Structure 1
Amino acid sequence: MLLKYPIVYQIRRNPVKFFTPILGLIFLWVFLIQDKSTKKPNSPYSYKSKVFGKKNDWIPRNLPADHISHYDLNKLASTPMAAYNKERVLILTPMAKFHQGYWDNLLSLTYPRSLIELGFIFPRTQEGDEALKNLERQVKKIQNPKNKIEERFAKVVILRQEHESLKSQNEKDRHAFKVQKERRSQMATARNSLLFTTIGPYTSWVLWLDSDIVETPPTLIQDLASHDKPVIAANCFQRYTDDNNSPAIRPYDFNNWIESDEGLRIASTLGDDDIIVEGYSEIATYRPLMGHFYDENGDPKTEMPLDGVGGTCLMVKADVHRDGAMFPNFPFYHLIETEGFAKMAKRLGYDVFGLPNYLVYHYNE
């Protein structure tokens, strides 16, 4: 019995020793154990990525510590019957300006929206800020949880690019010959950032669709997939009014081409850091351009092999990108961006094709 008193006495004289373990447990609970899933996760990237139509707007999402996802890519296919086989399509668009015609056309596509993911990347410019606001307004209308699932896209990801962009996005400024190397290098970096951020282990097809494309057939995805080609490009034209005030069309994208002997000869004379850009009188390669092969009475399913492609409307099997075909932002065999991508895809053993009689239309400024 006598042993009890010293113990009680010590407790009264040193209450800190009694409360210290309790305070330690509280500290562990608040700062180490408590679930922080409601906080924005730290990211090695300085840009923010939003996923619309999901409960948590921030990615990557926190997963249980023991969570493991299994994906068998051997079972992932890119087939001519993409819609029937419920193949997921990722539509990617670098966007400096928002055109309502682009968005309206996107909504008119007949491919099931539940199988479509959208990805956008915007430059940090005043025009880019305005375009972002306009797109977000449209996206929120479609991705509203009150809408039916079949009316919403599977996912929408919006990115802001960190690297520099041309300040002016006017057509005459961005297509000036003197800025092409800089502009296309910036575009290649943006495309790669967008691609590597959004492609998933369930993606079968990647459709690159420029924000200036305001008119396509509603069956665009099904039509391009039906050719079952690793890389295939539509022919981009532009509507305009001719000198007689009559509606007319003209070719717009001159980056879809077949290599020529003159093009190879010019390349052999260039330095390592020099590039060839197609469609400019400053460098006459005499390459056959797909835009000049359009036949208004021809079969829209007609195919032609290509050596260079543009990015206005380009369908790519996802495995081509997974195997390493990206958009070089540096001279690659004297090519850059989309034309460099075609060269890289071919070096990896993939065939590249175009559809000279299958038209999509570019916005006319």
Structure 2
Amino acid sequence: MLSTKKIALLLRRKPLAAVGFVAFFVTVFLFVFSTGPATTKPRYSYAKKNTGWFAQKNRDSKIVTNMPKEHIAHYDLNALSESVKASGRGEVLILTPMAKFLPEYWQNLNKLTYPHNLISLGFIVPRTAEGDQALKQLEQAVKTAQSKPHKFKKITILRQDTESLGSQLEKDRHALAAQKERRSMMALARNSLLFTTIAPATTWVLWLDADIVETPTSLLEDMIMHDKPVLSCNVYQRYTENGEPAIRPYDFNNWVESEEGLRIASEMADDEIIVEGYSEIATYRALMAHFYNADENPSTLMELDGVGGGAVLVNADVHRDGAMFPSFPFYHLIETEGFAKMAKRLGYEVFGMPHYLVYHHNE
């Protein structure tokens, strides 16, 4: 603080500086100690609703907020699991890699009786000419479906950022020589789709191939009822034989391991895989496709070691724990069969329903 003598000296030598100095302290004094008339409004009113994202308190100490709803979301996954068990319902994510669009697939999907407001859909489409056409058809189908009252909760469409098999003809897709490359590509696509779309509230993930054109309308209810970590349907195909309708097994990737299969694997190089359903690799595994019996209970289960991707229900926690689709040889298995092996290595059981059929498109 300046003394009286110093202020007088300053006034004589630098009058302008002294006046400015005194004016500053007078202003501070009036601002701090003057309350003004009782009716004067404060300069900043915290009773006024805040226009930002963050909450302020009004005069009644109530929170007033303009934060966007669910700007910060909290999920207790244990509580979520218990809630699902109590209600018997949970959010389902149906995931489909789609190289071509089949109207029958879409029609069947829309007929599912599980509440559509609890179903989210996810698709991944390759960057090919056929994929471009599938994308256009899918987008149009989605617009139509979502304009109706019973629309799906959410629909996500991805374009594949990895390579895909050039030809999607059945004979080319299932040629033995193409299996390692094709299924490695499929695994990468599945993982991209899964990791992009799974949400904290997702309870179940249904992997449904784009070629599955017929299922019971109660597919989700029937599978969820079993409450299994991994559960696969038996995939068959309708065809005509001697002018009469018939059915035949299609997916041979649902199997139980055999001693011969283990022996073959033990003699393979690290980068080699076993592909089931081919006479060139006779594993003598028990294939679920051959266990179908029309007279048996469709709810019957059998334990499996490998699964296909036709219609497989996965508890979302299995994926969250790290079970994905290996694009590399994993114990000499790859993609969906490698996923089943990974799930079992994590301690989860894998099951199939041999007498519960879904149908694959017949080209």
The TM-score, its normalising length taken from structure 1, stands at: 0.79
Q: What aligned pairs does 1:200-219 form with structure 2 within 5 A after superposition? A: 200-219=199-218
Q: Go from structure 1 to structure 2 and tell me whether the alpha carbon gap of 1:241 and 1:227 turns closer, same or farther (over 3 Å shift).
A: same
* 1:8 equivalent in structure 2: none
Q: 1:101 aligns with which of 99, 104, 120?
A: 104
1:54-203 matches, within 5 Å, as 67-77=71-81, 84-144=87-147, 147-148=148-149, 151-203=150-202
Tell me how far 1:80 sits from its aligned partner.
8.6
**How far off is 1:245 after superposition?**
1.3
> Counterpart of 2:40?
none
Identity percentage over the alignment? 68
Deviation of 1:319 after TM superposition, in Å, equals 0.3
Question: For residues 333 and 259 of structure 1, what CA distance do their matches in structure 2 show?
Answer: 12
Shift of 1:68: 2.5
Q: State how far apart, in whole Å, the 2-side matches of 1:78 and 1:364 are.
A: 41
Alpha-carbon distance in structure 2 between the residues aligned to 1:265 and 1:314: 28
Instruction: Tell me, yes or no, if the aligned pair for 1:254 and 1:310 is still in contact at 8 Å.
Output: yes
Matched with 2:6 is none
Give the distance between the partners of 2:311 and 2:75, measured in 1 at CA.
29
2-structure distance, mates of 1:334, 1:136: 38
Q: Which has the larger radius of gyration?
A: 2
Given that 1:81 and 1:222 are in contact with CA atoms closer than 8 Å, whether structure 2 keeps it comes out as no
Work out the CA distance in 2 between the residues paired with 1:349 and 1:305: 14
Which residue pairs with 1:317 in the alignment?
A: 315
Give the RMSD, CA atoms, in angstroms. 1.9
Moved more, 85-94 or 301-310: 85-94
For residue 85 of structure 1, report the CA deviation from its aligned partner. Answer: 3.8
State the distance in 1 between where 2:340 and 2:218 align.
Answer: 24
- Kept in 2: contact 1:78–1:87 (CA 8 A): no
Note if contact 2:84-2:90 (Cα within 8 Å) is conserved in structure 1.
no
State the secondary structure of the residue aligned to 2:282.
coil
| Distance of 2:212 and 2:71 partners within structure 1 | 41
Partners of 2:84 and 2:75 lie apart in 1 by: 22
Determine the C-alpha separation between the residues in 1 that align with 2:214 and 2:85.
23
Given candidates 246, 259, 262, the residue that maps to 2:260 is 262
Aligned equivalents of 1:81, 1:347: Cα separation in 2 = 25
Tell me, in whole angstroms, the C-alpha distance in 1 between the residues paired with 2:323 and 2:290: 27
Matched length: 299
Q: Which runs of 5+ in 2 are unaligned?
A: 1-14, 17-51, 53-66
Aligned position for 1:364: 362
**C-alpha distance after superposition, 1:219-276 (max 9, x if no partner):** 000000111110000000000011x211000000000000000000000000000000
Residue 248 of structure 1 is matched in structure 2 by 246
Tell me which amino acid in the other structure corresponds to 2:321: D
